A = this chain, B = another copy of it.
């Protein structure tokens, strides 16, 4: 077992000083061609690689980005990570991942662990519990210590930093308008409780779209699911709720769901009730994931371009990190949504 070789060892072996070795390896003109070659040959032989940790300590830069997301077993978030990783690697950065599991305390702990020197900056999406408690001190403190944050998707006005979001309002208006164009008269929405910022915005888009088309919004057509708990039997409750929705509104001919799971479940329930898709009921979901693509019938969705969000976030963060003068100028990048038409609409 040959341990990793260090400058010191090379220096000892070749009977020169550490700094000579260091310079020789970096092709410094100061060193004679003779020793340079000798050192480089030796280094190559022993496969010398500078120790990242030592470099980080010296440069006060880790070249590592910390990602904090609520959940990784989730198509949207994993796609964002892929985007971040792509850009990060291209620009010489690594990516370290922390999961909050939608919990406030895990979010705080994870951030504290990483903020103590392990990373240069954060890219994160806020946990539901944090959104609910509206306690953002860990974000503001991190920023005030000089560590930049980029938030994506689940963001919050109270924290000043770069943000990458989808135009949820516009996106859901697009979706509802599409349903209306395709002939829907009675459109229901399956959404989340309002504390989830994106859920709230998407509900608002639904209402505005109806309003602009002179369709009266009915409270009975709005189903707000409480998904505080990401539990297994949560699904049963969801199905029951949707069933009730259909049964108390027999004339529903369009469904807009704020995520693909809700949409898929709605289709399932509809089918169970003898309704055909898209003939009797048309369905559109927000978030384009695997479920939508491979469902039968496949689901028409509002694509968020998750990977692009990740890429943008990484670009923003790294630009911020590598710019000398850190001006207090924060930008919010809005990623355009796109309707992907599949079989669940006519």
Residues of A within 8 A of B (CB): 1-4, 47, 49-54, 56-57, 62, 64, 72-75, 78-79, 81-82, 85, 89, 94-99, 110, 112-118, 141, 144-146, 261, 264-265, 267-268, 271, 290-291, 294-296
Contact = CB atoms under 8 A, between A and B. Distances in A.
The 3 closest A-B pairs by CB, nearest first: A51-B117, A53-B117, A52-B117
Nearest to A265: B294
24 contacts: A2-B145, A4-B145, A49-B116, A50-B116, A51-B117, A52-B118, A53-B57, A53-B118, A57-B57, A64-B96, A72-B82, A72-B85, A73-B75, A75-B290, A81-B97, A85-B97, A89-B110, A94-B113, A94-B118, A95-B97, A271-B296, A290-B290, A294-B295, A296-B296
Nearest to A118: B52
Among A3, A49, A50, A116: residue with most chain B CB under 10 A: A116
Contacts of A52: 113, 116-118
Given A4-B117, A50-B116, 5 more contacts: A49-B112, A95-B96, A95-B97, A294-B295, A296-B296
A87 to B, nearest CB: 12
Nearest to A1: B146
Given A97-B96, A294-B264, A294-B295, A53 B49 contact: no
